[in-house]
Amino acid sequence: MRKTVLSLMSITALALAGCNAPAPSPQAGTEAPASANTAAAATTAATAVANEVSGTISLRGSVQPSANATLVLNLVDVSATAAGSAPLASKTSPAGSFPQPFKLEFNPAEVKPGDLYVIQAMLTDGERHYAMPIQAPVLAKGSKNDGVAIELVAEQTPGEKIMDAFTAEQKQLGGMKVSHGTKLDADVSRGWQLFRQAGQVEFIRELVDYGDKGFTSTDYAYKDGKPWAIVQETKPSRDGKPSAIDRAGWNDDGALVLKQHQVGGDVQELGDDAAAKLKKQAMEILSVATGGKNK
């Protein structure tokens, strides 16, 4: 009887020990699926490469381009080792109105790790060009690939550059050596001031009175004995308001780049013949004012 009681107690103790024992460890490769998915997602996010860049383009100022304007976008590698390489992506389209969204798609396999990529935008509207004063880097660590903000700023036209230089020249006349002259013809009274600097003719201001046919006041600017900018005001009389203002200017290659005919507030393009006539007048007064020496 004693042996029987001991056996039952042993069985009971073993059963209780089994209830308190820790659960068996899972075998290798049987981790929870959720952890595996999370790790895989993190790896994919770390290695993912964008296949497009996007954002918004705006113009500084309130003026909108004409219907003939063209917008060119390029995604370019500007690293020193990539000089001359083709854009990673490119798009040319009518400019439309601004601000406007943009998107450039590219092949991520062509992206070189460590190289510097930027968006380049250029708007062309006749002689007017708009460019980016600040670069727009993309694809690199810390750079935005979407929501890229690009601002385009109008650059001076070649004609505007000449007009600014002409105005600056006028402001320097007080420091130049000046001589005067007059010439009387049957129906025309002509007078001028000639301005020299370092022995060279820089400027001539000519006043011509045509009697009842009107009056002209003309400023001629010269370089190396050749006219490079001319502004002529046509008036009904010496003290009258200008009925028209003509402006002509030539670049270093001799091309006519400043060509304006203004009547009131309306500015139109000055014709080639009218510009050529002004240039001829400039050479004629230069010859008269210098006694044929042209210097």
Q: Which residues contact 123 (CB under 8 A, 6 or more apart)?
A: 59, 65, 69, 70, 71, 72, 95, 129, 130, 131, 152
Ordered DSSP codes for 137-163: EESSTT--SSSEEEEEEEPPPHHHHHH
User: What are the backbone dihedrals phi and psi of residue 82, each rounded to the nearest 5 degrees, phi first?
Assistant: -110, 15
Distances (CA, A) of 134 to 110, 118, 137, 153: 25, 10, 10, 10
CB atoms within 10 A of CB 289: 22
Q: Residue 54: count other Cβ atoms within 10 Å of its Cβ.
A: 17
The bridge status of strand 100-105 relative to strand 128-131 is unpaired
Report the candidate in 66, 122, 74, 127 with the shortest Cα–Cα distance to residue 97: 66
Q: Which of 225, 209, 216, 190 is nearest to 278 (CA)?
A: 216
pLDDT in tens for each of the 295 residues of the chain?
444 443 434 434 434 444 444 444 444 444 445 444 544 444 443 345 579 999 999 999 988 999 999 999 999 999 999 988 999 999 999 999 999 999 999 999 999 988 999 999 999 999 999 999 999 999 987 788 999 999 999 999 999 999 999 999 999 999 999 999 999 988 899 999 999 999 999 999 999 999 999 999 999 999 999 999 999 999 999 999 999 999 999 999 999 999 999 999 999 999 999 999 999 999 999 999 999 998 8
Pairing of strands 52-59, 148-154: parallel
The predicted model scores a pTM of: 0.73
3-state secondary structure of 178: strand
Find the DSSP H helices in 21-64. Answer: 33-47
E strand intervals along 167-255: 177-184, 189-197, 200-209, 215-223, 226-235, 244-250
